[in-house]
């Protein structure tokens, strides 16, 4: 391919930013033209990240660089509030916006304000943005101008439940919603971002395991929003995240009470059929148990199912929070916008050990 798509990254010094650089620098159809960091403007990327030496020959630039307006796609790997402040100007120059943060995830601007403590500055763009994963919103993504990529926890939960909830919506009486769906989720430390925080240093996290955000997590409203869309009704839901003493990985264990009809359904066959054509979603054989190292460094998500007493379905899901849960999935979505095969530049195998 002679003419490559021009890509910019806003916020390149965090973990999702460096992951975008790692993956995009290997993408055969992409030219990275600019990567921004207000704090580190002028610093060579390879000085901050020697792993990219010889692969990314750029300096960090200011977020107001005109190069962003010359891009085909701009990724936002920034705190919430940044993408929505810049999106309108980029759209004027026919730049497609792919936001890895929260600005275009929650459709209700009042719920957004409740959880993120700020007004949404472009609710009209919020309305048109497509939120989700390639597997759940592929057709809507094809012609979108703005993508609000689902977060890492939401992706594991939403894709873990999508076949079941779609069946419930289409046939009814599959899930017993008199009992909330419970998502008991664990994430590696990198999910908290690259920042100075005593609670995240090695001496605090190593040889330790803890719950956090017990009173509510910001991912919860986007999870419920999409689960309810999948099910065709409001889904009662309990979400509890935990911090693992590892760098990467998400392991979500999801408990769903089924009706008798749902429990008698061959759910293994349902999931296998639902994801048969999905390159990055692997439904493991009956009886298998996924592990985070099965996906570390890759864009794959693996699912296993187990029926338990009391009409309970246990859904086990693993993904790399920085790849399928963030940067890799965003590139997968960019491939859709660019009319490329979705796995372009993303076929790397998980790292073991």
Domains and CATH numbers, the chain: 5-128 (3.40.50.720), 153-321 (3.30.360.10)
Could you give the percent of the chain with pLDDT greater than 70?
A: 99
Q: How many residues does the chain have?
A: 353
Q: Return mean pLDDT, the chain.
A: 95
Q: Average pLDDT in the 282-287 region?
A: 97
**Quick one: pLDDT band at residue 351, thresholds 50, 70, 90?**
very high
Q: Is the pLDDT of residue 196 over 70?
A: no
Tokens of 84: 């929505």
**What is the C-alpha R_g of the chain?**
20
pLDDT computed for residue 67 by the predictor = 97
**Quick one: pLDDT band at residue 64, thresholds 50, 70, 90?**
very high
Q: Average pLDDT in the 104-124 region?
A: 95
Tokens of 255: 């408990």
Q: Average pLDDT in the 259-286 region?
A: 98
| Span 83-110, pLDDT tens digits | 999 999 999 999 999 999 999 999 999 9
Contact assessment for residue 168 and residue 175, using Cβ atoms and an 8 Å cutoff: yes
Closest CA to 103 of 194, 13, 10, 214: 10
Q: Is the pLDDT of residue 345 over 70?
A: yes
| Span 206-243, pLDDT tens digits | 889 999 999 999 999 999 999 999 999 999 999 999 99
pLDDT computed for residue 206 by the predictor = 85
3-class SS of residue 302: strand
Contact assessment for residue 100 and residue 76, using Cβ atoms and an 8 Å cutoff: yes
Catalytic member of 71, 122, 152, 185: 152
Is position 152 annotated as part of the catalytic site?
Answer: yes
Q: Is cis: bond before 353, omega within 30 of 0?
A: yes
Q: Is the pLDDT of residue 253 over 70?
A: yes
Q: Average pLDDT in the 169-196 region?
A: 90
| Span 295-338, pLDDT tens digits | 999 999 999 999 999 999 999 999 999 999 999 999 999 999 99
Contact assessment for residue 235 and residue 255, using Cβ atoms and an 8 Å cutoff: no
**Quick one: pLDDT band at residue 2, thresholds 50, 70, 90?**
low
pLDDT computed for residue 198 by the predictor = 77
């Amino acid at each position: 391919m002679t003419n490559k798509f021009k890509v910019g990254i806003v916020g390149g010094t965090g973990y999702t930013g460096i992951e975008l650089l790692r993956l995009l620098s290997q993408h055969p159809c992409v030219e990275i033209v600019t990567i921004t960091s207000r704090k580190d403007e002028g610093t060579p990327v390879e000085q901050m990240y020697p792993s990219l030496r010889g692969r990314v020959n750029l300096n960090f630039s200011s977020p107001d660089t005109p190069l962003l307006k010359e891009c085909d796609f701009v990724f936002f790997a920034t705190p919430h509030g940044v993408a929505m402040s810049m999106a309108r100007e980029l759209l004027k120059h026919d730049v497609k916006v792919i936001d890895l943060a929260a600005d275009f995830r929650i459709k209700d601007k009042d719920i957004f304000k409740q959880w993120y403590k700020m007004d949404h500055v472009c609710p009209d763009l919020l309305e048109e943005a497509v939120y989700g994963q390639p597997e759940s919103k592929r057709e809507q993504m094809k012609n979108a101008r703005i993508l609000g990529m689902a977060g890492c926890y939401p992706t594991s939960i939403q894709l873990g439940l999508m076949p079941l909830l779609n069946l419930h919506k289409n046939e009814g009486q599959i899930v017993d919603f008199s009992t909330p769906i419970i998502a008991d989720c664990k994430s590696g430390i990198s999910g908290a971002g690259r920042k100075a925080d005593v609670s995240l240093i090695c001496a605090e996290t190593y040889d330790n395991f803890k719950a956090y955000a017990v009173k509510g997590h910001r991912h919860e409203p986007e999870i419920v929003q999409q689960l309810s869309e999948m099910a065709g009704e409001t889904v009662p839901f309990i979400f509890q995240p935990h911090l693992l003493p590892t760098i990467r990985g998400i392991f979500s264990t999801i408990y769903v009470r089924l009706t008798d009809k749902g429990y008698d359904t061959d759910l293994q066959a349902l999931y296998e059929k639902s994801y048969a054509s999905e390159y990055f979603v692997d439904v493991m054989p009956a009886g298998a148990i996924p592990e985070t190292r099965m996906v570390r460094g890759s864009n794959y998500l693996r699912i296993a199912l187990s029926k338990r007493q009391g009409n309970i379905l246990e859904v086990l899901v693993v993904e790399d929070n920085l790849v399928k849960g963030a940067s890799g999935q965003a590139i997968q979505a960019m491939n859709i916008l660019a009319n490329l095969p979705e796995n372009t530049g993303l076929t790397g195998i998980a790292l073991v050990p």
